[in-house]
Amino acid sequence: MAVMANPKLTLSPLPETFAICRLGPNAAPPPWAATGLFYSITRTADELSVICAEANVPGTVTCNRGWRCLKVDGPMDFNTIGVVAALSQPLAAAGVSVFVVSSYDTDYLLVKRENFERAQAILRESGHTISSE
């Protein structure tokens, strides 16, 4: 069992800028969303949430633009404890908001573009490694 109370992680910045979009609960996944190195489409009873390259999002779509992404180098064992906390706690203490997406292999930490350099510095100070962009 991979139990780490405060894991030290390696993160890789993704080169694109992303948008977090909200579509209606019955909307079909849009073709513009499913391109690029990273995208996420999540359906709930209340919405279809899309995270994708900002450049792909039509101007008429409800979204929050200007997010940069750090990918936690994986894959990680499902029993690893404290990954999101190890990243989000130092950022929260510094007043930096995050949006987290998890996949089968790893986690993705999105931070607003204007806080991206600062967030990387905070994570480095917390003992994490940020690989070159």
CATH number of this structure's domain 10-126: 3.30.2130.10
- Nearest to residue 90, comparing CAs of 115, 47, 126, 133? 126
Position 77 scores a pLDDT of: 81
Position 52 scores a pLDDT of: 97
What's the pTM value of the predicted model, to 2 decimals?
0.90
pLDDT in tens, 36-78: 889 999 999 999 999 999 999 999 999 999 999 999 998 888 8
Q: Based on the number of CB atoms within 10 Å of its own CB, is 80 exposed (0-12), middle (13-18) or buried (19 or more)?
A: middle
Position 4 scores a pLDDT of: 56
pLDDT in tens, 88-107: 999 999 999 999 999 999 99
| Token couple for 119 | 């967030």
Position 69 scores a pLDDT of: 98
Q: Where along the chain do its domains lie? A: 10-126
In order of 56, 78, 129, the CA distances from 120 in angstroms are 26, 25, 9
Q: Is the pLDDT of residue 1 over 60?
A: no
| Token couple for 59 | 């101007």
